Amino acid sequence: MIEVAAEPFAYTFPPGKTALVVIDMQRDFVEPGGFGETLGNDVSLLTAIVPTVRALLDLFRAQGWPIVHTRESHSPDLADCPPAKRDRGAPKLRIGDEGPMGRILVRGEPGNDIIPELAPMPGEIVLDKPGKGAFYATALGDILRLKGITHLVFAGVTTEVCVQTTMREANDRGYDCLLVEDATESYFPEFKQAAIAMIRAQGGIVGWTTDFERLAAAVR
Ligand code: C5J
């Protein structure tokens, strides 16, 4: 077991049974002209974590540990997009509309891909998910079970939406979850801090949090 200094107390994980899950580091969320910006967000806030997410990927790659990349995406006919999700609010462009990087949040479009700096390597799992949580309507549970995974380390965007939702889903399924604080970001800094506080409150009710350096120090 490897022990990492973390909050609310040390996180221990078995190296062979631990996967990194990088949530939705897609052009649609990180670059101008994508889904995130159509909702009125300042996407430049998210780019700050890219080097840390890359370092985390490199750490797991160097150990040969499993990596899952997720993409929030819908099929071109939008059959997996609830009307409530598409119709809500007053975005500049809605899911499925044509934007500068192709159709917003649609699978296979340039904007829906993971940013080039964090591109998946051969052998890493790329999971398309229609919801905020990565377990909903995907094979993630089966994939992790077949690999014997019991512990999950999380990075990606946005902290309080897809990252936290997936951590909660994973926690309910019995996984011990660790969030790397400087490898996750939100369009709303106060929401990021609130999500971190919620995750580790009450003795780690959803999981643990740490930072990249403490995780790397424990692994090296
Ligand atoms: C959002 C996500 N924020 N990946 N998606 O709509 O967090």
Per-residue pLDDT of the chain (220 residues; tens, 9 = 90+): 999 999 999 999 999 999 999 999 999 999 999 999 999 999 999 999 999 999 999 999 999 999 999 999 999 999 999 999 999 999 989 999 999 999 999 999 999 999 999 999 999 999 999 999 999 999 999 999 999 999 999 999 999 999 999 999 999 999 999 999 999 999 999 999 999 999 999 999 999 999 999 999 999 9
Can you tell me whether residue 50 is helix, strand or coil? Answer: helix
Residue closest by Cα to atom 6 of ligand 1: 161
C-alpha 161 – ligand 1 centre gap (Å): 5
Ligand 1: list residues with CB < 6 Å.
Answer: 24, 29, 72, 132, 157-158, 161-162
Q: What is the pLDDT of residue 30?
A: 97
CA dist., res. 162 & res. 164, Å (int): 6
Q: Tell how strand 176-185 and strand 67-72 pair up.
A: unpaired
- Collect all residues with Cβ–Cβ distance below 8 Å to 205 and sequence separation of at least 6: 198, 199
Q: Are 127 and 138 in contact (CB under 8 A)?
A: yes
Question: Which DSSP helix (H) or strand (E) runs through 197?
Answer: helix 189-204
